[in-house]
Amino acid sequence: MWKIALCQTDVIFRHPKINFDRIEQAIIEAAENQADVIIFPEMWNTGYCLDELLEFADINGEKTKNFLSYYAKKYHLNIIGGSVAVHLEDSFANIMYGFDENGDLISSYKKVHPFQLMDEHLYLEAGSDTNLFRIKDVPAAGFICYDIRFPEWLRKHSALGAEVLFVSAEWPEPRIDQWEKLLVARAIENQAFVVAVNRVGNDPANHFNGHSLVIDPHGEIILHAGEQEGNFYTTINLEEVKTVRESMPLFADRRPELY
């Protein structure tokens, strides 16, 4: 059993210092509630101030990595660090970092599918690598927002063994119904837990209304965070994945040579 904390926080536009302080408080609360894993939203350090990343993005992700590693180790807490805006040597990227309870880096994932409707493709370098890792010896994978519209990308990770699919997002309110439907579909077709966190609040162009979810391998929603800000908690039983996959051998019946 894992106790999961979903940090459904606001992201203060162009204010990394405030955002780091908010994430710090969320980590402390999750530790006090004896969570095993905490997950944060997308681009939580800056928001989508894409034309100002030279000023606000984290240089090589060093501040974020040091920060998350320190608190993961201090509280023996596995952290799926959402994603942050990172200033690389000659580009910018939207990167998810994950740390285990020893403070060791287990995930560094550059978003594979930049979202054109929010101009990501104009400012952010796309990744090309998978994001498989293990938490407490359980295979898992991590994705960022728009990735969930590409079922083949999540299926690739599940076919390689992932049993928990973590998703971090800044998903605007007008398409929130699609967010829920897509996530339920991803859980059912991959026979996996989906742990998905979305931000709340506003930036200059969008309203975000949460609806963070935890979905079991049957596609049943076991946690719906609504629209309020805060940490939300639930437990998941990883044995359910094995039970569902044994009862319907979906992966054994695939015909990947045809598609």
pLDDT for 97: 98
Check 65, 110, 125, 145 and give the catalytic one: 145
Q: Is 181 a catalytic residue?
A: no
Selecting among 49, 111, 125, 170, the annotated active-site residue is 111
User: Is-contact 214 8, C-beta < 8 A?
Assistant: no
Domains of the chain with CATH codes:
2-247 (3.60.110.10)
Q: Alpha carbon of 82 to those of 49, 182, 241: distances in Å?
A: 17, 19, 24
Q: Is 63 a catalytic residue?
A: no
Query: Would you write out the chain's pLDDT as a tens digit for each of its 259 residues?
Result: 999 999 999 999 999 999 999 999 999 999 999 999 999 999 999 999 999 999 999 999 999 999 999 999 999 999 999 999 999 999 999 999 999 999 999 999 999 999 999 999 999 999 999 999 999 999 999 999 999 999 999 999 999 999 999 999 999 999 999 999 999 999 999 999 999 999 999 999 999 999 999 999 999 999 999 999 999 999 999 999 999 999 999 999 999 999 9
Is 17 one of the catalytic residues?
A: no
Full-model pTM:
0.98
What's the pLDDT at 155? 98
pLDDT tens for 105-137 read 999 999 999 999 999 999 999 999 999 999 999
Q: Which of 7, 42, 120, 163 is catalytic?
A: 42
